[in-house]
Amino acid sequence: MYIGPYALANTLFVAPMAGVTDRPFRQLCKRLGAGYAVSEMVTARPDLWHTLKTSRRANHVGESGPIAVQIAGTDAQMMADAARFNIDRGAQIIDINMGCPAKKVCDKWAGSALMRDERLALEIVSAVVAACATRAVPVTLKMRTGWSQSEKNARSLARAAQDAGVQMITIHGRSRDQGYRGFAEYDTIAAVKSDLHIPVVANGDIDSPQKALQVLRHTGADALMIGRAAQGNPWIFREVAHFLAHGTLLAPPLLSEVRNVLLAHLQDHYALYGDVTGVRTARKHLAWYVRGLPGAESFRQHMNGLQDVQAQMGAVTQYVDDLNLAMDRLPARDCETRGVLETMRE
């Protein structure tokens, strides 16, 4: 699969998630089987471009290409300027955010709120495509099924975006008013796929290899994008890739690999954020990694009290080593931890 001139390693993508898909996490997911990853959204407001938060989000040092950056805003000229700003800092693909349902984003009529104003949405698309065309940079678009379940306009907006020069569209199978509640629906994605000749990517509730195959068959999508299911489980990409290629499930990762991945992720995280902020912001990742494992709650409470890099890494090492005394692999995500532990002990 290609986006513009860029050949992708495979058709499994990491979704852009604010506060999650920073450079260390994107690199980790790529190492574990993702073929493509999109950055956290970068604001179109120029007064915020030189903040520490934006500078971290625009940091792609050592990241394998293609480098895709998502931008968010409500003004066409500012979005075009934001595209150029990020291209100057290494972006090879620009993604327009019309999918974020967060209240603080939608209250400013950015993210998925733009779907309620198709005129403005297409004005933004046209301005960004024109700005990127001068640099030969492809533009993609991420959206939802619509503003609300009674106002599903993904088909009309997707057709117009394709006509305006967008080269790939990702659709999360929920409307904005759903947030992340309920279940994603895939009929709208299938309908958009049938309308377009550019690649269409399915997103929403893809949390296992079996579900990945189901969504592919239902939608006919060209690729899959995985978000929340990768939090604490970056191995999901290689598991899905293996299942789609061979029809069999990979065993969960060995705890020795989990230990190495966790420690490497922490080191990359500290390198980007520094020791003080790095220790604090790593806590959510660690909580996701241990979710559902024995002693996870005690570990999380202990972790939240640690303020030092070495103490945090030492606690992680000790926790995983203690698990290793009872089991040699992570339990399968769709099994009860207690049952898996008992089986392994037998």
Helix (H, G, I), strand (E, B) or coil at 308: coil
Question: How are beta strands 2-3 and 6-7 bridged, if at all?
Answer: antiparallel
Q: Which amino acid is at 251?
A: A
- Clarify whether 100 is annotated catalytic: yes
Nearest to 261 by CA among 286, 287, 294: 286
What DSSP element (H or E) covers 31?
A: helix 23-31
Q: From the centroid of its chain, how far is CA 61?
A: 19
User: CA quadruple 47, 50, 53, 58: dihedral positive or negative?
Assistant: positive
Burial 138-170 (b: 16+ CB within 10 A, else e): bbbbbbbbbbeeeebbbbebbebbbebbbbbbb
Considering the candidates 29, 100, 106, 132, report the single residue annotated as catalytic.
100
Nearest to 13 by CA among 217, 171, 184, 226: 226
Which of the residues are catalytic? 100
